[in-house]
Amino acid sequence: MRLILASASPRRLDLLARIGVEVAAVDPAEIDETPFPAESPADYARRIAAAKAVAVAPRHGGEVVLAADTVVAVGRRILPKAADIAEVAVCLKLLAGRRHRVLSAVTVIDAQGVARHRLSTSIVAFGPLSAATIQAYAESGEGIGKAGGYAIQGRAEAFVRFLSGSHSGVVGLPLFETRALLLTAGITLG
C-alpha cells in the first residue's frame, strides 16, 4: 500500500522517515487556510488537516493519504505562518517570556476512503527574549513560513525553557498519533 503525503513540508518527510515510513508521492493540497471568525485553534487545525486530505485523496484512489496542520496559539489567537521578517519579529515579541500552545492535527484517509483524525496539543514556554535576539532571529530567515514565526528544530530551540507534549508535534507532525493512524490504515512501518 502506498502513502501519499498531502504536504510540501520537508520537515514532515524527515519526521516520517524517522519512524521508517516511506512516502510514495508528495502532493500538496492547495486550499484556503483562512480561519473562520471565532474558530478555536483546535477546530481550525483539525479542519485544515481534514480539508487538505480531502482535497488530495480523489487524485490518488485506493492509496493512503496523510495530511497535517500545525497551529501556534496564544489563548484563542491563532498566530500566522510568518510571511516575512517583520511578521517573525511580531510573533516572537508576543511569545517571549510566556507560554503558548502548539496544536498539530493529522488526518489519514485509508485506501477505502475512511478518514481518521488525531490532534496533539503541546505547551511551549519561551524564556524572555531581548529585542536584539528577536531581531537577529527574524533576520536569520528561519522563522519565515513557520507557524508562530519559529522553528523549534532550529535556532529557536534555544528559546524554549519548557515543553510539555510532543516535540515532533511542535516541529509539524506528532509521530505518536501519526504512527497509530498509519498502522490502522494498513501502512507498514520499517
pLDDT tens sequence across 27-54: 999 999 999 999 999 999 999 999 999 9
pLDDT band per the 50, 70, 90 thresholds, residue 188: confident
| pTM, to two decimals | 0.94
Catalytic entry in 27, 69, 84, 110: 69
Residue 69 is a catalytic residue: yes
Give all domains of the chain, ordered by start, each with its CATH number: 3-184 (3.90.950.10)
> Would the CA dihedral through 126, 132, 137, 143 be positive or negative?
positive
Query: For residues 26, 105, 126 and 37, what is the CA-based torsion angle, rounded to 10 degrees?
Result: 110
Predicted local confidence at residue 113, as pLDDT: 96
**Per-residue pLDDT reduced to its tens digit, 147-163:** 999 999 999 999 999 99
Report the mean per-residue pLDDT for the chain.
97
